[in-house]
Amino acid sequence: MKKKVLIMLAMMLTVGSLAACSKQEEEPAPEPTVVEEEPTPEPAEETPVEEVVPENQNLLTGVPDLTEEAIGKRPVAVMVNNVPDAMPQYGVEEADIIFEIPVEGDQTRFMALYADYTQVPRVCAIRSCRSYFPAISQGFDAFYVNWGIDESVSEYLDALELDQYDGMSDSNGLFGRDQDRLNSGYALEHTAYFDGTKFAEVVQEQGKRTDLVDDKKDTAFKFNGLEEQVKPDGEACTDVTIDFGAQTAGFTYDSGSNTYKKSNSGEPQIDGRTGNQLAFTNVFVLETSITVRDEVGHKNVDWDGGENSVGYYISNGAVQQIHWSKETNNEWSRLSFFDEHGNELSINRGKSYIAFNYPNQTQMQ
């Protein structure tokens, strides 16, 4: 009897255990809690901030320094004597661009461009016109100032329809002779001045067009950013000598001001009023064909350039070879600069010096 009770108890325990196991198998284990991680946000793309150029940007230099009255107005081109006997000139330091090109006897002459027609200084010594200078100035839609012309090209100059002011026929009180120079012994041809301080008043009284034509209302050149100083894509260049024949133009880089200080035939070229040496952010040497066309020695200068032309852009302590052009037989076209791939050159903001000269007459180091 005792044995039967034990067997029954064992069977009951076994059945209970199986039931418990069965119950555990029927109840699934709770699912683990999954915590989804927040996705890491992609870094936001920076939208480039478009540089805002001030309205009073000087179209010749890219520097915002125009007076309010000069915004959108025409520049002034002034012919300046540049032979050693005429030194020192005055009023040339304020020029925004200076062109230097050979004339008779391979002496050179300046054409000084002033962007602000209301702020042209008194300039001395003024000299006569040669046809290739207004062929360039027309590309800037500039007023043209000179004292005398080469009569053999007078018909050509008439065809250009220049807004011209000539000291030989002045009736506006804009020209005169510098008495201090005469008293100091300067030859008469080195004493003519243009009183640019009166120019805006005269132009306005005459009702001359002062607004730039539509296709000249942007900058004369493509400029780098307002705060950029970019080295040209080439070798280091801190000294430049341009041999025109009868005289030379030299440039020495001043790293403190990021400018090239100019000399004339080995002597520092000084503005006689300010006492400062002429200095330029950009120096261009444009090689071209220059020939003598008459017994007087007047020149023909090829100002067209083209894709096969050779030039050099020097700035910020370096130089690169470029090519340059104006549209053939189109004096009203812009003078443009291009890199070796044919892309328009972007230059540093500041004053520019531009030489047209014979090929292979420039040393750079």
The per-residue pLDDT string of the chain (365 residues; one tens digit each, 9 = 90 and over) reads 444 433 343 444 444 443 444 444 445 555 555 555 566 666 666 666 678 989 999 999 999 999 999 999 999 999 999 999 999 999 999 999 999 999 999 999 999 999 999 999 999 999 999 999 999 999 999 999 999 998 888 899 999 999 999 999 999 999 999 999 999 999 999 999 999 999 999 999 999 999 999 999 999 999 999 999 999 999 999 999 999 999 999 999 999 999 999 999 999 999 999 999 999 999 999 999 999 999 999 999 999 999 999 999 999 999 999 999 999 999 999 999 999 999 999 999 999 999 999 999 999 99
- Cα–chain-centroid distance for residue 249? 20
Preceding omega of 28 cis (within 30 degrees of 0): no
Count Cα neighbours of 251 within 13 Å in the Cβ-side half-sphere: 33
Task: Name the residue type at position 255.
Answer: S
Instruction: Kindly give the residue spans of alpha helices, DSSP state H, lying in the chain.
Output: 2-26, 132-137, 154-160, 179-184, 199-206
**Cα-based angle 363, 271, 137 (whole degrees, multiple of 5):** 70
Question: Tell me, which fold does domain 68-364 have in CATH?
Answer: YerB-like fold (3.50.90)
CB 256 within 8 A of CB 327: no
pTM of the model: 0.87
Bridge partners of residue 37, in order along the sequence = none
CA separation for the pair 351, 63 (Å, rounded): 9
CB 361 within 8 A of CB 246: no
CB 250 within 8 A of CB 267: no
